[in-house]
Amino acid sequence: MPDFKKVWEDFLTYSPGSTADVRVFFAPGRVNLIGEHIDYNGGLVMPAALTIGTWLFLRERSDGISRFASQAFPSVSTTNVSAIKKEAQGDFSDYMKGIYHAFAHHGSKHSPAADFYFVSNLPNQAGLSSSAAVELATAYALNTLGHLGYSTLDLVRLSQEAENEFVGVNCGIMDQFAVGMGKASHAMLLNTSNLDYEYIPAEMGQYRLVITNTNKKRQLSDSKYNERRQECETALSKLQAHFPSMIHLVENGEVAPKLDRYLDDEVLIRRTRHVMTENKRVMDATNALKNRQMVEFGKLLNASHESLRDDYEVTGKELDALVEAQWHAPGCIGARMTGAGFGGCTVGLVHEDAIDDFQAQVEQKYRQATGLTPSFYVSDIGEGVREVTEEV
């Protein structure tokens, strides 16, 4: 946990005054248990909010000027909230400015100005939705202070819009949805084509979620993320010539073993095969979780990683070395990459009695393979974005 005594000292140095008018908000990180790279293909995904995340300390201002700072990025960015143009600067403040811009676009032109100060125990650029947490914390705080009247689901959509259209990352809605709509001790089965969702009790018995960071930094906008999206759009267009009613690439999954009849490009065949089979794995994982079949759930995690490695090609040396170390580590019944890939994190299911041995063996083998040292986060499944009223 962050040292909140130090956080308060830093905030009051940055924004002097009484603590009485300071509001505190929390947005969790998220882990996608299974269903990777299919949120933008109309697929089913199974994210869960974590108990680690991002806190926003906020003091409202009356001069129309907002200032943004964080423990990780201490330099202060300043903006006039009534004159934000659709012009990303390529820095941390883009996420908050994007939220202001999205509110204005939807008619809320008088969102409150404030001093923002963020502190997080999420690793940056690691695939745990640190950016979505910043977006939802900002949107929820402005909605609360300004009495703007948006529902949490509205804020989810608005935050995705901010990242797509202002920040410039063409993400799906899963990250923002999980951060906004999370429920303690429950995974979420989300249909990304229509936002229908179901909370799935995540009673994992003696197994715990262990998030492991490769500590290989990545940036979504610099990765092959947008390239994969384009490949999927191309494959969909070609399949629609054979299946005119097909709207999303996850449909007609029964054709996955015979895609070469409809697609003449080996790369597009592999991309489509991943999308279709991953969607089926999410359905199978839902049944396994509902029936508390954790060993079966773990096997599906392994199969998901293999598909992401071989068909979708978004893993890379570090993620593969980390997952393979986990597959052979004590107490682990399943592990896979989570997030966009090309670095970032893995999620594993590990018996609670073996966590120390698991971490020791994985660290040793991963360091031997890559020269990097992983970071481990043992987390429960927590609530979505909210105001923090208890003392921090």
Q: Do 58 and 207 fall within a single domain?
A: no
Q: At 219, is the pLDDT very low, low, confident or very high (cuts 50, 70, 90)?
A: low
Residue 392 lies in a domain: no
- The pLDDT assigned to 342 comes to 87
Q: What is the mean pLDDT of the chain?
A: 93
Q: Do 195 and 210 fall within a single domain?
A: no
pLDDT tens for each residue of 107-127: 988 899 999 999 998 876 666
Q: What is the mean pLDDT of residues 19-24?
A: 95
Residue 126 lies in a domain: yes
Q: Do 178 and 42 fall within a single domain?
A: yes
Element (H, E) at 339: none
- The pLDDT assigned to 269 comes to 98
Q: Do 196 and 218 fall within a single domain?
A: no
- Between CA 52 and CA 1 the distance in angstroms is 8
Neighbours of 34 (CB within 10 A): 28
Residue 363 lies in a domain: yes
Q: Do 136 and 225 fall within a single domain?
A: no
- Helix 266-290, helix 294-310: angle, nearest 10: 170
Residues 31, 209 contacting (CB under 8 angstroms): yes
Residues 97, 132 contacting (CB under 8 angstroms): no
- The pLDDT assigned to 231 comes to 97
Range of the domain at 34: 4-200+382-387
Residues 204, 349 contacting (CB under 8 angstroms): yes
Match 């096997």 to its residue by tokens: 299
pLDDT greater at residue 260 or residue 217: 260
Q: What is the mean pLDDT of residues 356-361?
A: 98
CATH number reported for the structural domain that contains residue 298 in this entry: 3.30.70.890
Residue 237 lies in a domain: yes
Contacts of 332 (CB under 8 A, 6+ apart): 298, 326, 348, 349, 350, 351, 354, 358
Q: Do 281 and 258 fall within a single domain?
A: yes
Residue 92 lies in a domain: yes
Q: At 221, is the pLDDT very low, low, confident or very high (cuts 50, 70, 90)?
A: very low
- Between CA 134 and CA 19 the distance in angstroms is 22
Contacts of 148 (CB under 8 A, 6+ apart): 103, 108, 111, 142
Phi then psi dihedrals of residue 196, to 5 deg: -65, 140
Helices (H), the chain: 4-14, 93-105, 130-145, 152-161, 174-181, 225-240, 266-290, 294-310, 317-327, 355-370
Least confident segment among 83-87, 312-316, 318-322:
83-87
Helices (H), 265-385: 266-290, 294-310, 317-327, 355-370
pLDDT surpasses 50 at 254: yes
175 as an active site residue: the answer is: yes
Least confident segment among 129-133, 210-214, 274-278:
129-133
Match 């509001």 to its residue by tokens: 23
Q: Do 177 and 269 fall within a single domain?
A: no
Element (H, E) at 243: none
Cα→Cα distances 39→26, 133, 182, 231, Å: 25, 18, 17, 14
Closest CA relative to residue 218, chosen from 118, 318, 136:
318
- The pLDDT assigned to 101 comes to 94
Residue 67 lies in a domain: yes
pLDDT surpasses 60 at 32: yes
CATH number reported for the structural domain that contains residue 138 in this entry: 3.30.230.10
Q: Do 124 and 213 fall within a single domain?
A: no
- Between CA 9 and CA 170 the distance in angstroms is 37
- Identify the burial level of 369 via C-beta atoms within 10 angstroms of its C-beta, where 0-12 means exposed, 13-18 middle and 19 or more buried: middle
Residues 266, 249 contacting (CB under 8 angstroms): no
Q: Do 193 and 228 fall within a single domain?
A: no
Residue 195 lies in a domain: yes
pLDDT surpasses 70 at 280: yes
Residue 70 lies in a domain: yes
- Between CA 386 and CA 152 the distance in angstroms is 10
Q: Do 191 and 228 fall within a single domain?
A: no
Q: At 169, is the pLDDT very low, low, confident or very high (cuts 50, 70, 90)?
A: confident
Helix, strand and coil percent figures for the chain, each rounded to 5: 45, 25, 35
Q: Do 370 and 357 fall within a single domain?
A: yes
Cα→Cα distances 296→43, 158, 286, 287, 301, Å: 21, 37, 11, 10, 9
Record the tokens describing residue 334, joined without a space: 């399943």
- Between CA 56 and CA 349 the distance in angstroms is 30
Quick check: helix, strand or coil at residue 44?
strand
Q: Estimate to the nearest angstrom the gap between the alpha carbon of 377 and the chain centroid.
A: 15
Segment of 113-127, 207-221, 350-364 carrying the highest mean pLDDT: 350-364
Total domain count, the chain: 2
Choose the catalytic residue: 10, 39, 115, 175: 175
Q: Do 262 and 144 fall within a single domain?
A: no
- The pLDDT assigned to 125 comes to 65
